Structure 1
Amino acid sequence: MRIAVAGGTGRIGRLVVEEARRRGHDAISLSRGEGVDLTTGEGLAARLDGVEAVIDATNPPVSDVAEAERVFATVTRTLLVAGAAAGVAHHVALSIAALDRVQGNPHYFGKRAQERDVARGAVPFTIVRATQFHDFPAMIAEWSIVDGEGVVPPLLLQPIAPADVAVALVETAAAPALGGSFDIAGPRTEDAVDMARRTFAARGRELPLRASWRGAALGVEFAGEVLLPAEGARLAPTTFDDWIAAGAD
């Protein structure tokens, strides 16, 4: 099967390309490095020749709600229009679990705009909503260092390994389109503060941590169980313990 991966040189996209090829698919990347501009569509038609499924693993940086909605919608519409013209049979979009529970975050606004356009498009689709990755708590600690301490908000996660996300995306692309969405998550819930501490310890980095919402990179709209997946989510095999044991990379 010929699969095109939008954002194929990014963190998740690269893993998707590798997983697809490992399974015997003809996987190609759609990125600027391959001469494709996903905002204008330049170079896209030629790369989609013979493609049966497109996986959108793009994750453009955004700074505010207006930019997020514009960028995500533009990329999505460009892919869908070109995909319909090329006869693509399945469009798979990577999104975020619990997307509708968080209203104040620009990235979430962008993802909701993406999902709306995917659902309205002419290409049969499936939306895969993933929970946060294993390194997420350490990342937010590094984003918010106050007086030498990394601030980590006390919240629950059900983290998933990026490699498991790649597997789910490739398997979804090879299956019939659902015309809807489903959640994927790791096998168990974890405490974000504990995850950050264990991640830095596994990496040999000394960064004092403080559990607090004040000064944190995330607001209180993420509190409690908000970020946990929906009931019936498909569970991936890799635990946070497995990731720590492997070196937390």
Structure 2
Amino acid sequence: MKIVVIGGTGLIGSKLVAGLKEHGHEAVPAAPNTGVNTLTGEGLAEVLKGASVVVDVSNSPSFADDAVMEFFRTSTTNVLEAEAEAGVRHHVALSVVGTDRLQGSGYFRAKQVQEDLIKASGVPYTIVHATQFFEFAKGLADGVTEGDTVRLPAAKIQPMVSDDVAAAVGRAAVGDPVGGVVEVGGPEAFELEDFIRMGLDAIDDPRKVVTDPEARYWGAELQEDTLLPGPDAHLAKTRFADWLAQQK
């Protein structure tokens, strides 16, 4: 089966392509460095010839509100239109647990637009909602650092490793379209403060991590369970402490 992976040279995409190939599929990475530009449409028609499934794990190069909205709206529209022309039978997109609850953030408003376009397209689809990745602990901290202090809202998070995210997206890609959302998360929930502190301690980052009731998450206000998957989520097995130990 030919499966085209939009964003197929990035963190998740490269792991996904490798995993699909190991299982005997024709997995084709599609990204600007492979001659496919979803913002302009360049190369889309060619790469989608004969494709049964398209998986979109791409992300905006800029998280500024206007730029990220333009990216997801334009890119998703172009991909869906090209899929309809090519007769693609299944569109799979990677999104984020809690997207609909994080609309105070420009990034998540753009992700919601992406999801809405997919749902309205007429192309059979599966949207995979994943929790945040282990690898993003430092990046999350960087976005809310003031001086030498990381200020975080009081909330829980149930992160997972990128390998498990890629595996979950791969399962969706080779399965039937569900016409809805599939949630995946890590095996353990942490206080957001504890997750970030553990991630920074592992790389000897000296910043102080505190919970601040005024802090926001990418501009959005959090409730305790905003970032947590629901009771029907598929939970991966890799634990954060075990992954951290492997990084040393």
Question: TM over 0.5: same fold?
Answer: yes
Q: Which amino acid aligns with 1:115?
A: E
Q: Which amino acid aligns with 1:198?
A: M
Q: Which amino acid aligns with 2:113?
A: A
Q: Which amino acid aligns with 1:229?
A: P
CA drift at 1:224: 1.2
Name the SS of the counterpart of 1:159 in structure 2.
coil
Q: Which amino acid aligns with 2:88?
A: V
1:138 and 1:195 in contact (8 A); partners too: no
Aligned counterparts of 1:111 and 1:17: Cα–Cα separation in 2 = 23
Who is 1:89 aligned against?
A: 89
Structure 1: which 5+ residue stretches go unaligned? none
Aligned counterparts of 2:218 and 2:95: Cα–Cα separation in 1 = 18
The percent of aligned pairs where both chains have the same amino acid is 36
Who is 1:47 aligned against?
A: 47
Name the CA shift for 1:174/1:136 in 2 (closer, same or farther; >3 Å). Answer: same
Who is 1:29 aligned against?
A: 29
Q: CA RMSD in A?
A: 1.8
**Deviation larger for 48-57 or 141-150:** 141-150
Count, aligned residues: 247
Aligned counterparts of 1:6 and 1:149: Cα–Cα separation in 2 = 37
Provide TM-score, normalisation by structure 2.
0.92
**Deviation larger for 17-26 or 100-109:** 17-26
CA drift at 1:138: 2.9
Aligned counterparts of 2:95 and 2:112: Cα–Cα separation in 1 = 9
CA drift at 1:48: 1.1
1:41 and 1:78 in contact (8 A); partners too: yes
CA drift at 1:194: 1.3
Who is 2:107 aligned against?
A: 107
Aligned counterparts of 1:210 and 1:165: Cα–Cα separation in 2 = 28
Q: Which amino acid aligns with 1:34?
A: T
Deviations 1:102-155 (A, max 9, x none): 221011111111111101113211111111112434322222332322323332
1:4 and 1:48 in contact (8 A); partners too: yes
Aligned counterparts of 1:219 and 1:50: Cα–Cα separation in 2 = 41
Deviations 1:36-62 (A, max 9, x none): 110121111111122111100011023
Pairs within 5 Å for 1:4-15: 4-15=4-15
CA drift at 1:216: 5.5
Deviations 1:66-108 (A, max 9, x none): 4433321211111111112112111001111111112210111
Who is 1:247 aligned against?
A: 247
Name the SS of the counterpart of 1:222 in structure 2.
coil
Structure 2: which 5+ residue stretches go unaligned? none
Aligned counterparts of 1:189 and 1:215: Cα–Cα separation in 2 = 20
Name the SS of the counterpart of 1:209 in structure 2.
strand
Name the SS of the counterpart of 2:68 in structure 1.
helix
Matched, 1:182 2:169: no
Aligned counterparts of 2:225 and 2:40: Cα–Cα separation in 1 = 39
Pairs within 5 Å for 1:116-127: 116-127=116-127
Aligned counterparts of 2:218 and 2:9: Cα–Cα separation in 1 = 27
Name the CA shift for 1:219/1:80 in 2 (closer, same or farther; >3 Å). Answer: closer
Aligned counterparts of 2:215 and 2:136: Cα–Cα separation in 1 = 17
Q: Which amino acid aligns with 2:193?
A: V
1:157 and 1:192 in contact (8 A); partners too: yes
Who is 1:72 aligned against?
A: 72
Who is 1:238 aligned against?
A: 238
Provide TM-score, normalisation by structure 1.
0.92
Matched, 1:58 2:47: no
Aligned counterparts of 1:73 and 1:43: Cα–Cα separation in 2 = 18
Aligned counterparts of 1:175 and 1:222: Cα–Cα separation in 2 = 33
